[in-house]
Structure 1
Amino acid sequence: MPQLNPAPWFAILVFSWLVFLIVIPPKVMNYTYPNEPSPQSSQAPKTESWNWPWH
């Protein structure tokens, strides 16, 4: 039964993981995103307390 022979399937598994771990990440990381995040100010915005009657 050829399904029980692990030699070709193990090589396919190892090769596919090598592709996923070595070839694909640099291609994905080279994308440029049009909306780069801008640094926010370190000063917290001033908040007003709400003066609601609770009854």
Structure 2
Amino acid sequence: MPQLNPSPWFAILVFSWLVLLTIVMPKTLNHTFPNEPSHQNTQTPKTDSWTWPW
């Protein structure tokens, strides 16, 4: 049975991992987002309680 011979499948596995780690990963890690997240204000605004007229 040819599927039990590991030599061609192991070479394909190693080659695909080398391509992934050398080409795809650096391109993905160098991606920059156009809108950088900004820090939100941690202070809570002072709110007055509502005085109902009734």
Per the normalisation by structure 2, the TM-score is 0.61
In the alignment, structure 2 segments of 5+ residues that lack a partner are none
Identity of aligned residues (%): 70
- Residue matched to 1:17: 17
| Alpha-carbon spacing, 1:22–1:46, altered in 2? closer, same or farther (3 Å) | farther
How many correspondences in the alignment? 50
CA RMSD of aligned residues (A): 2.4
- Residue matched to 2:34: 34
